[in-house]
Amino acid sequence: MTRAKGERSLSGWAFLAPYAVAVVLLIAVPALLNVGYAFTDHTGLTRDPQFVGLDNVRRLADDAFLADSLEASLFHVALSVPLRLLAAVGLGLLLAAPRPGGRWFRTAVYLPTVVPDVALAVLFLWVLNPLYGPLNQLLGLFGHPGYTWLSDPTTARVGVVLMLLFPIGEGFVVVLAARRLLDGRLYEAAALEGCGPFGQLRRITLPLLAPVLVLLAVRDTILTLQVNFVPAYVLTDGRPANATLYLPVYIFDQAFEFSGFAYAALITILLMLITAAIIAVQLLAVRRWRVLR
Amino acid sequence: MAGRFVLPALVAALFAAPLWFMLTGSLRPAGLPPPRTLELWPPEATLDAYRRLPELMPLFRYLANSAMVAAVAVPLTVLTAALTGFGVRLLPPSARRKAVVALVVVLLVPVTAVWATRFEVFRLAGVTDTIVPLLAPALLAVSPFLVLLYAWSFGGVPDSQLQSARLEGAGWLTVWRRVALPQVRPATLAVAVLAFTFHWANFIDPLLYLHSGDRYTFPLALRFLLLLNPTDWPLLMAGCVIATLPCVVVFLLAQRVLLSDDPLAALRRGRP
């Protein structure tokens, strides 16, 4: 019997092997190569990078574009992650309960997620257009004159945040599924104790979902910091005045437009460190919050 | 009543609104002055933009390229996710937990971290400007999320069935194909649909790797349409509708599983 079990577990690993090889070749090796390239003068055009020591690190210090880029990314994360999380969790909990037509409400919420990135960006160029765009017209209904969204640094950043509030489907589905796993009897007991819907939310739902919420927050921080490239690249391409030159956009520019491949590798490492730092702060805050309760 | 239907309906309308404006934007006649107030349906709606699109660019070539990538990449993604997910299922519980944690860690690795250097790997291998780099995400099952989806679904296949098939002398690959896969059809549907929406929409990889215009996929073509006609809104919105429509249609097939009242149970149900 144990032999059969050992054989089965071995087969399990064999099934996992192709995926593991792909992870090593397509993720681990390139990630390590970043470290190697960061200390060379590689331009991405030739094949013989030379070791240049800390030259690229020195360049970081007086790169005004990098400072702009950092500011843009941090602004975006600070605004976008809480809003996206609030939307995904709020809508997930609102729409989880079975109701006639419930699936169609959920489908409507999920639909913007299946819109291809480029189409979403082009669509928002239209939505945010000061003259033709539906958003300014909507504001007009309330007597507001509207904004010149993408021409002004602050509103351009807000515009990108607004656009990325729509594709929240992944977190939304995870919340839907996690909510179904909670025991219904807990809610019945709470209701008997005279605990209203908000009390149930605060005392049962949110604490029990906490691990899922933390995972979603961490994942969304990473997505928001690093994967907002396509929409931002197509929507504003870093303009106006570098207000939306998020780090991934700057990395792309350096690596593939300015022949600064090695420098881009270094900024990639910097971005990873910043991401790790933000996540560490989040995890610490969660621990603190749990102790306080 | 208000809480059960009115608020959900408002939310649904809010999220459907951008798609509605995409559609109505594509139906506006070109050169119409800006609307004075919120325009829910354009005056003199016309399909003119859809007629002009193939005249301005080789639309069908790009669509065919995209379809070709999807036709190869989607089955490859499903295969990778299903094999890996079954591997997780076969592991003893303690090892299974470790594998799931490892998958979650991979979920947290950002794509940007490996863009430039992955490009270098493919350049050295001499396969840039071919379909090969576009298949790389498929070998990673697009996202560990899809592997976890399969791992969960295979968890519903009883051990006794796996063992008895094995005792009858079937290899694990046969067990996977004959016993396990038929029981998780909803999961296969969901994974295939999510894989399609990813590969059809993939923009970064074609942008990095494709140089010849005749190999462009449609998302790349849409960006060039934007660069060439930055203010022809009906035309651009028509392009967006064409890019979005296949994803919406395909997703509507999977919403029965992914967005049902109990998605985790729906994934394990034998028939979609």
Token couple for B258: 């992914």
d(CA A262, CA A43): 6
List chain A residues with CB under 8 Å of B248.
111, 114-115
Could you report the per-residue pLDDT of A267-285, keeping only the tens digit for each?
888 888 888 888 888 888 8
d(CA B81, CA B194): 12
Q: What's the angle, vertex CA A237, arms to CA A274 and CA A239, rounded to 5?
A: 90
DSSP A51: B
Which residue in B153, B204, B259 has the most chain A C-beta atoms within 10 A of its own C-beta, making it the best mutation to test that interface?
B259
d(CA B153, CA B272): 13
Residue B1's pLDDT is what? 57
Mean pLDDT, chain A, whole residue set: 85
Q: What's the angle, vertex CA B23, arms to CA A141 and CA A112, rounded to 5?
A: 85
Residue A292's pLDDT is what? 45
Q: What's the angle, vertex CA B68, arms to CA B62 and CA B74, rounded to 5?
A: 130
CA-based end-to-end distance of chain A: 48
Chain centroid to Cα A91, Å, comes to 18
Tell me, yes or no, if A24 comes closer than 8 A to chain B by beta carbon: no
CATH number of B59-268: 1.10.3720.10
CA distance B164 to chain A (A): 12
Q: Please give the C-alpha separations between residue A40 and each of A251, A262, A266, in angstroms, as whole numbers.
A: 16, 6, 10
Q: What is the phi-psi region of residue B142: left when phi exceeds 0, alpha when psi lies from -120 to 50, beta otherwise? A: left
Q: Are B150 and B81 in contact (CB under 8 A)?
A: yes
Radius of gyration of chain A (CA): 23
Q: Please give the C-alpha separations between residue B102 and each of A23, A218, B7, B107, B147, in angstroms, as whole numbers.
A: 11, 15, 39, 9, 12
A153-180: buried (b, 16+ CB within 10 Å) or exposed (e) per residue?
A: bebbbbbbbbbbbbbbbbbbbbbbbbbb
Range with the poorest average pLDDT among A148-152, A288-292, B233-237: A288-292
Residue among B177, B215, B233, B194 nearest B64 (CA): B215
Token couple for A233: 């690249």
Residue A289's pLDDT is what? 65
Could you report the per-residue pLDDT of A82-136, keeping only the tens digit for each?
999 999 999 999 898 888 888 899 999 999 999 999 999 999 999 998 888 888 8
Residue among B173, B236, B234 nearest B26 (CA): B234
Per-residue pLDDT band at B51 (split at 50, 70, 90): very high
Domain boundaries, chain B: 59-268
Which residue in A122, A148, A183 has the most chain B C-beta atoms within 10 A of its own C-beta, making it the best mutation to test that interface?
A122
pLDDT mean over A287-293:
58
Greatest extent of chain B over all pairs of C-alpha atoms, in Å: 74
Q: Are B146 and B154 in contact (CB under 8 A)?
A: no
Cross-chain Cβ contact A123/B237 below 8 Å: yes
| Residues 6+ positions from B162 with CB-CB distance below 8 Å | B90, B175, B179, B180
**DSSP-derived secondary structure for A121-178:** HHHHHHHT-TTT-HHHHHHHHTT-----GGGSHHHHHHHHHHHTTS--HHHHHHHHHH
**Which of A59-63, A185-189, A288-292, B236-240 has maximum average pLDDT?**
B236-240
CA distance B11 to chain A (A): 7
CA distance B128 to chain A (A): 13
Could you report the per-residue pLDDT of B121-164, keeping only the tens digit for each?
888 888 888 888 999 899 998 888 899 999 999 998 998 998 89
Closest chain A CA to residue B136: A26
CA distance B147 to chain A (A): 10
CA distance B15 to chain A (A): 5
d(CA B77, CA B252): 20
d(CA A17, CA B151): 15
Cross-chain Cβ contact A95/B197 below 8 Å: no
DSSP A227: S
Token couple for A9: 């577990």
Mean pLDDT, chain B, whole residue set: 89
d(CA B128, CA A155): 38
pLDDT cut 90: percent of chain B above it: 49
Domain boundaries, chain A: 57-292
Closest chain B CA to residue A24: B140
Residue A124's pLDDT is what? 93
Q: Are B219 and B199 in contact (CB under 8 A)?
A: no
Alpha helices in chain B (DSSP H): 7-27, 48-56, 59-90, 93-107, 115-124, 132-139, 144-154, 159-167, 172-174, 185-201, 204-209, 218-228, 233-258, 263-268
Q: Are A118 and A234 in contact (CB under 8 A)?
A: yes
Token couple for A96: 């989880």
Q: What's phi and psi for A98, nearest 5 deg?
A: -65, 135
d(CA B186, CA B172): 21
| Residues 6+ positions from A88 with CB-CB distance below 8 Å | A168, A171, A172, A174, A175, A216, A220
Could you report the per-residue pLDDT of A208-240, keeping only the tens digit for each?
888 888 888 888 888 888 766 788 888 887 788
**Which of A130-134, B85-89, B207-211 has maximum average pLDDT?**
B85-89
d(CA B144, CA A135): 36
Q: Interface pTM (ipTM) of the complex? A: 0.90
pLDDT cut 70: percent of chain B above it: 98
Is the pLDDT at B85 greater than 80, yes or no? yes
Global confidence as pTM: 0.91
d(CA A58, CA A95): 52
Cross-chain Cβ contact B22/A126 below 8 Å: yes
Chain centroid to Cα B75, Å, comes to 12
Which residue in B96, B108, B115 has the most chain A C-beta atoms within 10 A of its own C-beta, making it the best mutation to test that interface?
B115
Q: Tell me yes or no: is domain A57-292 CATH 1.10.3720.10.
A: yes
